[in-house]
Amino acid sequence: MPRQDYRFYHNPRCSKSRAALALLQARGIEPAIVAYMDSPPSTGELRDILRALDMSPRELLRTGEEAYKTLGLADPSLDDDALIAAMHAHPRLIERPILEHGSRAVIGRPPERVLELLD
């Protein structure tokens, strides 16, 4: 049964995401899975995630993605709202995986980082 106090933003096609989920499950944690590629977080949810991560939107962007280049997201004049809107519209741009627990979150890179949030 999923534990609603843990939320895992998961891309099953990503090896790091699968590895992080396996680490959690090995410790008896079945987080609520958010298939963010199918159902992207709203801009408000992205702001909450960024707050929990204590990161700026630019730090959460996957700069190697094609959309990063084609949308011109390297442009330093783009504000946080523009970057968050781009991540909402193109969820592949969101660094993954992300585990949220309470008011805190971590990016599972390397996958073992998710263990930092376990009770």
* pLDDT per residue as tens digits for the range 67-109: 999 999 999 999 999 999 999 999 999 999 999 999 999 999 9
Residues 88 and 102 both lie in one domain: no
| CA 99, chain centre distance (Å) | 7
- Are 40 and 70 contacting, i.e. CB atoms less than 8 angstroms apart? no
Shared domain for 13 and 25, answered yes or no, is yes
7 and 25 belong to one structural domain: yes
Is the same domain home to 45 and 87?
yes
Phi/psi for 51 (5° steps) reads -65, -45
Q: Classify 5 as helix, strand or coil.
A: strand
Residues 77, 88 share a domain: yes
CA atoms within 13 A on the CB side of 72: 6
List 2, 4, 8, 14, catalytic entry? 14
- Decide if 87 is catalytic: no
Same domain, 80 and 52: yes
The CATH code of the domain that includes 68 is 3.40.30.10
Cα-only R_g, the chain: 14
Tokens for 79, please give them. 């504000």
What domain range includes position 16? 1-36+96-119
Q: What is the pLDDT of residue 63?
A: 97
- pLDDT of the residue at 4: 63
Please tell me the total count of domains within the chain: 2
